[in-house]
Amino acid sequence: MSAAIHRSRITEGRPNPLGATWTGLGVNFALFSANATKVELCLFDDRGETELERIELPEYTNEVFHGFLPDARPGTIYAYRVHGPYAPEEGHRFNPNKLLLDPYALSHVGDLQWDHALFGYTIGHADEDLSFDERDSARFMPKCRVVDPAFTWGDDRRPRTPWERTVIYETHVKGVTKRHPLIPPDRQGTYSGLSSREMIRHIKSIGVTAVELLPVHFFLNDDYLLDKGLVNYWGYNSLGFFAPARRYARNQDFAFAEFKEMVARLHDAGLEVIMDVVYNHTAEGNERGATLSFKGIDNASYYRLLPDQKRYYINDTGTGNTVNLSHPRVLQMVTDSLRYWVNEMHVDGFRFDLGTILAREPHGFDDQSAFLKACMQDPVLADVKLIAEPWDIGPGGYQVGNFAPGWAEWNDKYRDTVRGFWVGEEGKAADLGKRLSGSADLFDHHGRKPWASINFLAAHDGFTLNDLVTYDEKHNEANGEENRDGHSHNLSHNYGVEGPTDDPEINAVRERQIRNMLATLYLSQGTPMLLAGDEFGRSQQGNNNAYCQDNEISWFDWEYGERGERLVAFTQRLAALRQRFPVLRRGRFLSGEYHEASGAKALSWIKPSGEEMEGADWDDPNTRCLAKLLDGRAQESNIRVAAHDATLLLILNAYHDAVEFTLPAVQDGVAWTRLIDTNLPDEEEDEPDFKVGESYTVTGRSLLLFCLKTKKRRAR
């Protein structure tokens, strides 16, 4: 480190924007801290290994330390040391011996090496986290890199797919391509691999319009996982909200450019990019966690602390800490991050992990919270897709249906109801009717639309569809927690054998149940979200919590054989039907009321006799076979259109045995054309017709879709 610092090298600079900003003439450094007394900018060599110089930021404006360094350029490696009181009982944990990452860093260099020196207190000391550790943490820390964000986007345009046409594909950047035989080895598991022609062709073929990526913000591997030879595979352990994870780049020094290229290629194919973002907590943990960034910059501002014991953290996330979005500067950081990913990285939307926390004020969840208001009024954020995971483990944390207008929400009631129905649970009929129709009981308020319900049957957290019909119990032994982790209530069934089997009868039932659930998902009102790989029967060997499995348990096996090919073909048929029939993706909630103008009801529920269901049918716990009649003559608005939509009949039979179902009579209808029968998955597109009023044998555990063929009317 140089012995002297010349004040002429650095000027006051500006307090905004926050972060390290290349101006073309130098770099402006700005760091928020309400409680620090001094901030030192630390410069490193090109490898990030040797600290070359410390420069005190000379100015402090509106709680922001700032300075302008004319000698700095893109590629400059830096970090901070922040001085202030070390008083954990007052919420302050400043320790200038600990090198700290810039919360606004756009890129990083190096990897974290877990060591006791990373902790602000002395591990093993009698005073625990009240002690003060004087070891320098720099050699164990990653560093920040100044970036020139310039990128040639060409004529890149956001696809702006309407919500009504949106189909989401939830996937993992690495896992989806790591074993893909048609992607070159150097591109497997990378942003580049995800945007390859092979992947785009497959994704488009199953009707997907938006790729939702598990976390790609800069994140860390937990030390306890590394000790077991595991890693944080999913990525829900963020430490930098502006930088893409380098681990998914072919060239880690240019991860931000490769991410942009991926977005551009997906956009060129008409695919949107949605990011799963984790703003609810950070990788720093609780009072016993490491001091890596926020904790050492301004612990009392960035985190929610117990009001009467500020030494301890509020833990509504279950991860040790909770980010304090009630603080204006923390709220600014999150919204700045979101705008950065939209404006600079061109992403199309966000799925917010544990979204309830983001709308939680000190008094609890508030649908008028500062964060929700900020998103609603922001012209950038109001123009992209916003999806909440509407729960956390805090008081009143379950908030499905309660987010503000403009938001979509993961609908776990849809997941559990549909799973329960197909596994044969009693008393699911009434709830199933609501879930298939966009869950109006949850979302039909304040002008919200059916698309607000993100319908899913499987997600990264839980069983895949294949494992849902293959295992009665979770098998998470590989996680090293003696199978104690992960949910135990999975609404799954193995149909006679735990795990894979050669029994043809069991396999036939399993495949039909997968088709039943895929068809239910694609044919429901609302926004379908498909877990990547479910379209070809991907398995995780019964692991329903594969968060730490960066191996064959999580990596997709694209050599899925004849069984997988049949499932892909079936999924493609479903996608084509959803696209073909607008009645399956109506923009308004369907009503069972009679429309005078059209002479029809948009929605009717039919029992096996061919008659409409009544209250007693819904209340009967043994009702497991019913049909949804969507009458295309009943338009969703008062505006007359030139042609009516098709009329469809969706039959679901969860009984183990076959049911004789009378195909109902509909005005002007002469026959029902069968489009889907999950018991006959390989049937050709030109399906046969069945007369109105005819009895159709619905196989046990099967789903059917019919389209009404009507009389030809004479032109006037």
- Which residues participate in catalysis according to the annotation? 353, 389
What is the spatial distance between Cα 32 and Cα 43, in angstroms, rounded to a whole number? 19
Please choose, from the candidates 164, 161, 191, 163, the residue with its C-alpha nearest in 3D space to the C-alpha of residue 176.
191
Q: Is 222 strand, coil or helix?
A: coil
Residue 423 phi, psi (nearest 5): -80, -10
Q: In this structure, how many other beta carbons lie within 10 angstroms of the beta carbon of residue 528? A: 28
Beta bridge partners of 82: 39
What is the spatial distance between Cα 18 and Cα 21, in angstroms, rounded to a whole number? 8
Length of the chain: 716
Please choose, from the candidates 671, 425, 648, 613, the residue with its C-alpha nearest in 3D space to the C-alpha of residue 525.
648
Residue 363 host element (H or E): none
Contact at 8 Å (CB) between 215 and 547? no
Please choose, from the candidates 669, 635, 623, the residue with its C-alpha nearest in 3D space to the C-alpha of residue 649.
669
The terminus-to-terminus CA distance of the chain in angstroms comes to: 92
Contact at 8 Å (CB) between 615 and 605? no
Strands 143-145 and 168-171: unpaired
HEC states along 430-461?
HHHHHHHECCHHHHCCCCCCHHHEEEECCCCC
Q: Is 477 strand, coil or helix?
A: helix
DSSP string, 286-305: STTS--SSHHHHHHHHHB-E
What is the spatial distance between Cα 378 and Cα 375, in angstroms, rounded to a whole number? 5
Q: What is the DSSP letter of 577?
A: H
Please choose, from the candidates 72, 147, 201, the residue with its C-alpha nearest in 3D space to the C-alpha of residue 558.
201
CA angle in degrees (0–180, nearest 5) for 656-657-662: 125
